[in-house]
Amino acid sequence: MSTEDQTVKQLEERTRKAEKETKEIEEEIEKLSKGDLSYIGDPGLDKLLSENEKLKHRLAILENAVKAESSAAGKSTTKEPRKRPTLITDINSIEGAICILDELKNVFEIAITSAYPDLEDPPVVITLSGNNPKFGDYQCNSAMPISQLLKAKNIKSNPREVANNILNKTPTSPIIERIEVAGAGFLNIYLNKKVAEHVLTYILRDGVKPPPVKRQKIVIDFSSPNIAKEMHVGHLRSTIIGESIARILEFLNHDVLRINHLGDWGTQFGMLIAHLQDKFPNFKKESPPISDLQAFYKESKKRFDEDEVFKKRAYTCVVHLQSGQPDYIAAWKLICEVSRREFQKIYDRLDVTIIDRGESFYQSRMLVVIDELKQKNLLEEDEGRLIMWGSEDHEGIPLTIVKSDGGFTYDTSDMATIKQRVEEEKAERFIYVTDMGQYGHFVLIEKCARRAGILKEGQKLEHVGSGVVLGEDKKKFKTRSGDTVKLNDLLEEGLKRALDKLVEKGRDKVLTPEELKQAQEAVAYGCIKYADLSHNRVNDYIFSFDKMLDDKGNTAVYLLYALTRIRSIARTAQVSTEDLLAQLEKSGFKLSHEAEIKLGKVLLRFPEVILKVSNDLFLHTLCEYLYEISSVFTEFYDKCYCVEKDKDGKIVKIIYERLMLCEVTARIMEKCLSLLGIRTVSKM
């Protein structure tokens, strides 16, 4: 049985079980309500009813998953009419996280298909309404395109009429308070604040939980510097972006494999080994004190370029290494180890977790993939090379699978990586994070892998590309003397600048040395990461410590300050989380003031934002959301007192519900920051 079939089977089994449980509970409710009337107001019945709703909700999720799985397994090839989505019928059935956007899509899919049953796949367009409360919280903008479709079928209509027809067919949903037709045919949707109250209560009780999604095995290839060469700012971008993507996918409970595709194989090792033999002849017995591997690389490269005898020896070293001679393997391992130690220092500082699996890992697998391509008649000879085209009609440029000297290339190893990840890792999603310059390479790898039948339907290779890091002069990021910037030096400078900033604000006088150090690191590494992540990754971005350490605007420093300020509100009111929870059980959680409701609805969007980012892998959306939370929080805090004091500054009244709102805001902000790989501090 294929794994897809197994998953379908498992899901079907779980669905059956959930169905059985639902039925049992329904029967019990029947019995209870028939037998006697004392059930009225019985908390037992309430509990059963709410459990029943929850099970129905879970059932709907499972049914959707089965649907998705079996169509992935290619079962429903004939076009069946789409199953009517199951809607939420009771807010209390929502468990923790809900994607409001998806639910609205379901509601309007039903409305539109019943208003226009003859239209095939009518567009269900739901968007956020933006900042003007006049337009509701979300909008359904389907009326305009539907009116166009009708016109094409010679049916007279105008968008406003279409909007009214949709509205008439919209099923009632507890998450919607009201809908209005506006302007040229927009449907403005106002959410019921009760959804926000319900979901935020969950977060207060259980913390921030992910929305349910179908679990996937995902390989993410990121960072991937090259041994003996320097790890440059381009690798820093890939490291920061890759780490954050991995965190988000793991938060959604996916099975994520984080791979460091180190450049640890290739002809450069010939000259490195030859140089090592000369400089440290005793290297096998005594570990050579190479502190600067890049300088070592430069020295050997100089000799390679200038000395013919050395060059020849370097070539023989490559041959010995590739044939696996122990002495040469030992020398190679030693050189890799020195590099790895350097890389690890950076990963430790930046809280990056990654598994080293470099190009050398694919040595034998490259031979296998070449064989497969040969057998499938996909390789062509071209001036002594073996090449492969992405399509039969030789469009664009081909991959070089075997060089004319018989050696392999970057193309060869990436064909091997994709095969390994599909067949051995059994992954479904393949993410590669590199600079934009490699975009073409990965498009071609995907095409060739598909042509070769290695990559199958439903599996996709995703290249997550990033622009170049520029200096403040808008030229390629370099040191003053024109050298490439060493990452460790850059991080050191970040630390120094962060400390200067904290001292400038007099924080060294209020924080303990331990707290100051924590704040310094959070600010330094946080600001570098956030500056990178908050820009659309495909664009180049300007690296500027001054900008990233600014405490106004969309920066990590601003957000970290905002968060500590929110955290300090309850602290000054001397209300602990336990107090809040006790109060929650006593009086529940309500949103009353307009500014509270606005903030509540923004917080409600967390699952929607996470799902979007996990799909398109554009992290700046998450940064924008974080910034939006802190702006809307400021608006709320300006308008609503959480604590009332008398003129002597004595607390006379605590408004617990507002402190609860502060707590949820802080938790969601902390979750977002941690998904971005940014450490938070309680004081700064």
The residues of the shown chain that bind ligand ARG, judged by CB under 6 A, are 221, 224-226, 261, 263, 414, 417, 432, 434
Cβ closest to ligand ARG, residue 399 vs residue 659: 399
Q: Residue 121 CB: number of other CB atoms within 10 A? A: 8
| Pairing relationship of beta strands 380-382 and 255-260 according to DSSP bridges | unpaired
Least distance from C-beta 486 to ligand ARG, angstroms? 16
Cβ closest to ligand ARG, residue 159 vs residue 263: 263
**In angstroms, what CA-CA distances link 601 with 128, 231, 237, 594, 660?**
11, 43, 33, 11, 15
Cβ closest to ligand ARG, residue 414 vs residue 663: 414
Cβ closest to ligand ARG, residue 421 vs residue 598: 421
Least distance from C-beta 259 to ligand ARG, angstroms? 8
Least distance from C-beta 491 to ligand ARG, angstroms? 19
What would the two tokens of residue 446 be?
A: 């995907």
Least distance from C-beta 234 to ligand ARG, angstroms? 7
Least distance from C-beta 265 to ligand ARG, angstroms? 11
Cβ closest to ligand ARG, residue 303 vs residue 421: 421
Least distance from C-beta 261 to ligand ARG, angstroms? 4
Query: Going by C-beta distance under 8 Å and a sequence separation of 6 or more, which residues neighbour residue 37?
Result: none
Cβ closest to ligand ARG, residue 463 vs residue 497: 463
Cβ closest to ligand ARG, residue 235 vs residue 598: 235
Query: Going by C-beta distance under 8 Å and a sequence separation of 6 or more, which residues neighbour residue 431?
Result: 218, 219, 220, 221, 222, 242, 245, 462, 464, 617
Which residues face 654 on adjacent strands?
643
Cβ closest to ligand ARG, residue 434 vs residue 534: 434
d(CA 629, CA 603): 7
Least distance from C-beta 414 to ligand ARG, angstroms? 5
Least distance from C-beta 404 to ligand ARG, angstroms? 22
Cβ closest to ligand ARG, residue 1 vs residue 355: 355
Q: Helix-strand-coil percent breakdown of the chain, rounded to 5?
A: 55, 10, 35
Cβ closest to ligand ARG, residue 226 vs residue 339: 226
Q: How many helices (H) and strands (E) does the chain have?
A: 24, 16
Residue identified by tokens 């946080």 is 526
Torsion of CA 300, 301, 306, 309, to 10 degrees: 50
Residue identified by tokens 């001036």 is 383
Burial label, 43 (beta-carbon count in 10 A; 0-12, 13-18, 19+): exposed
Single-letter amino acid, residue 369: V
Task: Check: CB of residue 126 under 8 Å from CB of residue 140.
Answer: yes
Residue 476 per-residue DSSP state: B
Cβ closest to ligand ARG, residue 233 vs residue 569: 233
Which residues face 430 on adjacent strands?
219, 461
Cβ closest to ligand ARG, residue 15 vs residue 434: 434
Cβ closest to ligand ARG, residue 254 vs residue 261: 261
d(CA 303, CA 299): 6
Helix (H) or strand (E) holding 443: helix 439-451
Least distance from C-beta 435 to ligand ARG, angstroms? 7
Task: Check: CB of residue 103 under 8 Å from CB of residue 87.
Answer: yes
Task: Check: CB of residue 530 under 8 Å from CB of residue 513.
Answer: no
Side-chain-side CA neighbours of 636 within 13 Å: the count stands at: 27
Residue 174, classed as helix, strand or coil, is: coil
Least distance from C-beta 410 to ligand ARG, angstroms? 7
d(CA 246, CA 256): 7
Least distance from C-beta 235 to ligand ARG, angstroms? 6
Least distance from C-beta 461 to ligand ARG, angstroms? 10
| Pairing relationship of beta strands 380-382 and 186-191 according to DSSP bridges | unpaired
Which residues face 645 on adjacent strands?
651
Q: Residue 455 CB: number of other CB atoms within 10 A? A: 21
Least distance from C-beta 341 to ligand ARG, angstroms? 18
Least distance from C-beta 434 to ligand ARG, angstroms? 5
Least distance from C-beta 424 to ligand ARG, angstroms? 15
Cβ closest to ligand ARG, residue 414 vs residue 428: 414
d(CA 219, CA 425): 8
d(CA 7, CA 458): 15
DSSP string, 462-474: EEEEE--EE-TTS
Cβ closest to ligand ARG, residue 414 vs residue 608: 414
| The dihedral sign for the CA sequence 324, 330, 334, 337 | positive
